[in-house]
Copies of this chain bind each other. A is one copy, B any other.
Amino acid sequence: MANENSTTNYKWVGKRTRRPDGVDKVTGRARYGDDMTVPGMLYGKILRSPHAHAKILSIDTSKANALKGVKAVLTSAEIPDHPLSQPPYAPIINDMHDISRNVMARDKVLYDGHAVAAVAATSERIARQALKLIDVEYEVLPHVLDPLEAAGRAAPILHEDQFTYSADGLSDKPSNLFRSITGQRGDLDQGFAEADIIVEREFTSEPVHQGYIEPLACIATASEDNCVELWTTTQGHFVIRALCAKLLNMDLAKVRVTASEIGGGFGGKNTVYGEPVAIRLSQMTGRPVRMVMTRTEVFRASGPTVGSRTRIKIGARKDGTITAADAETWYQAGAFKGAPVGRAAETFFSSYTIKNARAVVHDVCVNRPKVAAYRAPGAPMAAYAAEGAINELASRLAMDPVDIRIKNAVREGDESLMGTKYGQIGLLDVLEKVKSHDHYSAPLGNNQGRGFALGYWMHGGGLSSVSAHLLDDGTVTVATGNPDIGGSRSSMRVMAAEELGVDIELIKPIVADTGSMGYSHLTAGSRTTFATGMAVIFAVREIIEKLRALAAKKWRLTIDQVTWEAGQAVASSSSRGGIQSLSLKELAAMATKMGGAIAGHSEINAGGAGAAFSAQLVDVEIDPETGFVTPLRYTVVQDVGRAISPDYVEGQMQGGAVQGIGWALNEAYIYDDQARLQNTGFLDYRMPVASDVPMIDTVLVEVPNPNHPYGVRGVGEPCLVSAPAAVANAVENAIGQTMSSLPLSPPKILKRIDEAQAAGG
């Protein structure tokens, strides 16, 4: 929990302050998606496909419609259709054609749990009963779950209108392979020719769910004049507004979205599921419609992250210089295209200055729920393969795993494989910190192993809007358009208080709805403290400018003669014959009498979010009888740029590590032979709980991002990127065998141990 390199001349930045919303969250007062009711509301429920792949021959809703208490029954006929997007494709695909079909299946169902119809009724019981009265006639089709298999010529085709897109154009035949992204530089053949040693491995990872505590929930209230109010749990209500409006052909201004408190998102609440359906049901019935998913529905029908099949080959000289690296990976996008392939290609080798490298990432549709973002989307499974291969390389070169990374580490001015140029980065600082940490040299016992891995993530910036208002009593509201997921209320408050030079208790952070705030992109991509934080700083600086002008007016000085120091306007002694000051509180009381209310606004498109690196050390112990893995010790060392609120930063780093433990050891979707999901609850889908993990130690390295006034980089994502690789490496180290297929569950480990023993290993 060291907080090193921290400058101490800040009043609030970097301090451990009380959470502005902590008590409400732990006492159950905070209002999450499900904690809202509206008088007269109906209960929406969705009928879901029991088949992984089938044609919908007919839907008969007449019996459901006739049930007393049922106010509307909806099928895809009630959801506007949209044309398929055409090449050239954007890096991130928001294809309304796909989203409309994911929200409500049109001609085919594409995964177990795919929505096929919905009802709105006066009670949840009646709604559930009505679902049973909807008759859907299916023609079941063959399914495919594995991306490699799905990309093959023999696979059942999910979309007859989807062709493989490449520089040469579209493929002749429909294909589940939508497109492939390649990052490349140098000459691979030459690179491998220069190598003294070559490691070739295959790795697989499974789709895993974000596992947010709070299921998806919303209430839609449509009005007669085609306006809608929507209350929903989301990571970005402006994005939900955009998706709903576009999907339902509505004006953006007529959709007003309020973000509830959010019980976890991790990327999984960046898109729409029930929202457009609730809106349509509300429009059809003239009443508010509430739609809350069960946990089973969340697992069956909301997006997990991708699973992957990766082939990787790395060559190095004896001194550890990596001369060539090549990776090819198949990402399963789920039922609709859009796996985070660009981010994957970016991740593979971007921590290293490898002269000859290539990463090819395939975006493949399979009969699973459409993937969603999950904390550094696309990266952890790429890092799992790349870091696993490099760890084996180090092992075979008998090199220290940190040293081989130091030898090949990128520095300022270097570029990632996809061409991202690094500014001031803290990679070497992080690696040095690992080497000097006592965890790195601590002794290990029997059946114990230590793992190490590195993770890289390029953070997001983009559009953020802030309105800050100084009130008569000197308190300040700071309204943003970003739901607070990982502590943005705290970090916004800290930055506003730091700029103003006043106590943080005077600052009230507010999450405003879409009706009263400028566009603010998702709370995602580790962008919020960086981008929205910058908008907070600019908005508050506008307030300070106005207060300086106000003091100058009062003192009959020019604004240049007034400075802002420690929460007050100060007239320099030369201009006033002695220092004179007016505090924020005094100025606030005068403000509205001398003009309008004092506000500062900022609408920005923030660029220059920094890259960050997270290195992780983990010790595990294996029970040789059962294969059960106990994580013993865990240390995350990460360049956080500047920790605005260290408690939250540490929480992010710990959370990333814990989720990585889950990815590495336990989490996977289990399907039966009909591709029906079997583990749709937390009892069967095993995520780590507090008793499964050790205290996660954190070391905050602070190499400031020069593009942010306080040096902020994101922190939430790099810590997951390296985690599965580090844990897997520890398991390999403990059993002395390579293992290449996540999750490393006890039966698999036991099998590997047995195989090795049988082989005399």
Contact = CB atoms under 8 A, between A and B. Distances in A.
Interface of A: 20-21, 23-24, 27, 29, 31, 35-39, 221, 223-225, 227, 242, 245, 251-254, 256, 286, 463-465, 467, 469, 471-473, 475-477, 479, 505-508, 510, 512-520, 535, 592-593, 595-599, 601-605
Contacts of A510: 256, 515-516
A67 B475 CA distance: 40
Contacts of A506: 251, 253
A543 to B, nearest CB: 11
Given A469-B518, A515-B477, A516-B467, A20 B595 contact: no
A37 B35 contact: no
Given A253-B506, A510-B516, 6 more contacts: A27-B286, A29-B224, A29-B286, A251-B508, A595-B605, A598-B603
The 9 closest A-B pairs by CB, nearest first: A596-B603, A253-B475, A23-B224, A512-B516, A253-B508, A518-B597, A510-B515, A519-B597, A252-B471
A464 B24 CA distance: 32
Contacts of A595: 603-605
B256 A516 contact: no
B475 A251 contact: yes
A29 B505 CA distance: 39
Given A596-B465, A596-B604, A519 B254 contact: no
A596 B254 CA distance: 21
A476 B519 contact: no
A208 B508 CA distance: 41
A35 B27 contact: no
Nearest to A520: B597
Contacts of A23: 223-225
Given A251-B506, A475-B254, A518 B224 contact: no
Nearest to A242: B472
A183 to B, nearest CB: 25
A463 B470 CA distance: 14
Contacts of A21: 225
Nearest to A476: B253
21 contacts: A21-B225, A23-B223, A24-B223, A27-B286, A29-B223, A36-B38, A37-B38, A251-B473, A251-B506, A252-B471, A253-B471, A463-B597, A469-B518, A477-B515, A513-B516, A518-B599, A519-B592, A519-B597, A595-B605, A597-B603, A601-B601
A550 to B, nearest CB: 13
Nearest to A473: B252
Contacts of A472: 242, 252, 519
Contacts of A601: 467, 599, 601
A596 B463 contact: yes
A253 B515 contact: no
Contacts of A602: 596
Contacts of A517: 467, 469, 516
Given A39-B35, A252-B473, A516 B518 contact: no
Contacts of A225: 20-21, 23-24
A530 to B, nearest CB: 15
Contacts of A520: 597
B516 A479 contact: yes
A601 to B, nearest CB: 5
Contacts of A227: 508
A437 to B, nearest CB: 37
A502 to B, nearest CB: 12
Contacts of A473: 245, 251-252
Nearest to A602: B596
Nearest to A256: B510
A594 to B, nearest CB: 8
A475 to B, nearest CB: 4
A471 B519 contact: yes
A123 B560 CA distance: 61
A465 B468 CA distance: 12
A38 B513 CA distance: 18
B592 A507 contact: no
A479 B515 contact: yes
A282 to B, nearest CB: 10
A505 to B, nearest CB: 8
Contacts of A479: 515-516
A253 B493 CA distance: 12
A27 B285 CA distance: 13
